Amino acid sequence: MATYRYRAVHRETGRSITERADIQELYVFLDEMDRQGYIVTSLKRVGWLESFLKSFVPLSRTSQRNKALILIELSAFLKAGIPLRASIEYMSSELNPAVSRVLKLMAKDIERGLEFHEALRAHGQMFEPWEVEAVRASEASGNLADVLEYTGKQALRSSDFQDKVRSAMVYPLLILVVTTAVILLLLTFVVPTFAGLFGSVEKLPPATRLIIRWSQFLSKYWPLVIVAVLGAWLFLKYLRSREETAARFERLLLRIPVWGKFLQSSYYARFSRTFSMLLRSGVPVLQSFEYAGQASGSYILRDATQAIRKEVERGSGIGDAMRDSGAFPLLLCELASAGENTGSLAEMISNACSFYEGEVERLLGTLSSLVEPALILVIGVIVGLVALAVFGPVLEALNVVM
């Protein structure tokens, strides 16, 4: 038996709960929550060591690209007439051990009588709640193979999109890391060597004294500095993970010029993609809408979708409720209203997704053109100040001697 921290939303009232539970069989717990009318939107095992390691490397979740390929391959097996359990077993023999083990357990669950979506929920380390809901709707409508193929292709597009974002950030981060390492090496090894040549530190210029003091501090207390930096980083991650502070932290990030617009467009793109995918899979509109808020990665959108769902249940239109919330851009609200009125909501939201993905790519280019020269300028200024503070007294001493 293991302890889990879960978050669930009631289908009818919209009431959200966040609690802990000792769970022996995940699928039994999820079935019980479903019978009570709750949709489990987050389920995490409580354990300080496992949680700490997962903050660096996801231990049990397969990559987005691998998951997409699994879905597409499974769809191909089903379209070829191979039964679901046999298809999963065939696939498990070709994948890495961790994913293969999960698939074999899913095959056993299906053999015991569970439906496919119940097996997915019981092993939630691979699939997100909204993906499970899409499978559940497709099983009810009888188009499981088509939905798996569509979901897999959407996951591939999402993976390619994320790869573009990561690749655009690699170069600036590499420059920042290398520069930080060079400055630390200067302060730790080079500056102390020159400090011994200067004699009395008090007779040196203020900038040189400051550099030498910092160098002495780093040389003497470098373990404490590493612990302090690591502690600050973990504390920020902790604040980012807490629901009470995450939305405030997000609002601060959104105020940063260009970067805030980039983050916002990324949230809208993920929201639109998930919303469209769930609608095409046959998931009810309100349920799709709330799951899309969960998938957006934005605490602001997540809270907004829950409030909007209550408004729509009272009789408001989705587009009007989105507009009144202030959390969504006018374009997305208008497209939602038009799609709701014409019966083409999935297509309209898909168009919004294409627009915001293009906006993210454009902003990535803007960020790259701004960040790289800004980093080079800052790095040049810092290195120049350090060099001037260290070598300035040396040059003055040489002038005096000559």
Give the per-residue pLDDT at 83. 87
Whether residues 81 and 28 fall in one domain: no
Whether residues 232 and 221 fall in one domain: yes
In a domain, 59, yes or no: no
Among 54, 72, 92, residue at a domain's last position = 54
Please state, in angstroms and rounded to a whole number, the distance separating the CA atoms of residues 230 and 224. Answer: 10
Q: Which residues are paired to 21 by β-bridges? A: 4
Give the per-residue pLDDT at 45. 63
Count of helix runs (H) and strand runs (E) in the chain = 17, 3
CATH of residue 243: 1.20.81.30
Whether residues 170 and 151 fall in one domain: no
Higher pLDDT, 394 or 102: 102
Give the per-residue pLDDT at 51. 45
Whether residues 279 and 358 fall in one domain: yes
Whether residues 288 and 338 fall in one domain: yes
pLDDT at 94 over 50: yes
Name the domain count of the chain. Answer: 3
Q: What single DSSP character describes residue 9?
A: E
Whether residues 121 and 243 fall in one domain: no
Higher pLDDT, 265 or 198: 265
Among 126, 157, 188, residue at a domain's last position = 157
Give the per-residue pLDDT at 268. 92
pLDDT of 95-132, one tens digit each? Answer: 777 778 888 888 888 887 888 888 887 766 677 777 77
Whether residues 43 and 120 fall in one domain: no
Whether residues 266 and 345 fall in one domain: yes
Here the tokens at position 200 are 């009395």
In a domain, 146, yes or no: yes
In a domain, 264, yes or no: yes
pLDDT of 127-170, one tens digit each? Answer: 777 777 788 888 877 788 888 888 787 777 777 777 777 776 77
Give the per-residue pLDDT at 60. 42
Among 10, 27, 54, residue at a domain's last position = 54
Find the Cα–Cα–Cα–Cα dihedral 364, 368, 371, 372, rounded to 10°: 170
Task: Quickly state the pLDDT bin for 348 (edges 50, 70, 90).
Answer: very high
Range of the domain at 42: 2-54
pLDDT of 10-28, one tens digit each? Answer: 767 767 777 778 776 665 6
In a domain, 322, yes or no: yes
Whether residues 261 and 123 fall in one domain: no
Higher pLDDT, 366 or 11: 366
Give the per-residue pLDDT at 56. 41
What is the phi/psi pair of residue 23, to 5°? -120, 130
Whether residues 12 and 40 fall in one domain: yes
Whether residues 89 and 235 fall in one domain: no
- Least confident range from 47-56, 265-274, 376-385: namely 47-56
pLDDT at 52 over 70: no
Give the per-residue pLDDT at 57. 41
Amino acid 291 reads: Y
Whether residues 90 and 176 fall in one domain: no
Give the per-residue pLDDT at 363. 84
- Least confident range from 47-61, 289-303, 388-402: namely 47-61
Here the tokens at position 264 are 């916002």
Give the per-residue pLDDT at 142. 78
Proportion of the chain in helix, strand, coil states, percent, rounded to 5: 75, 5, 15
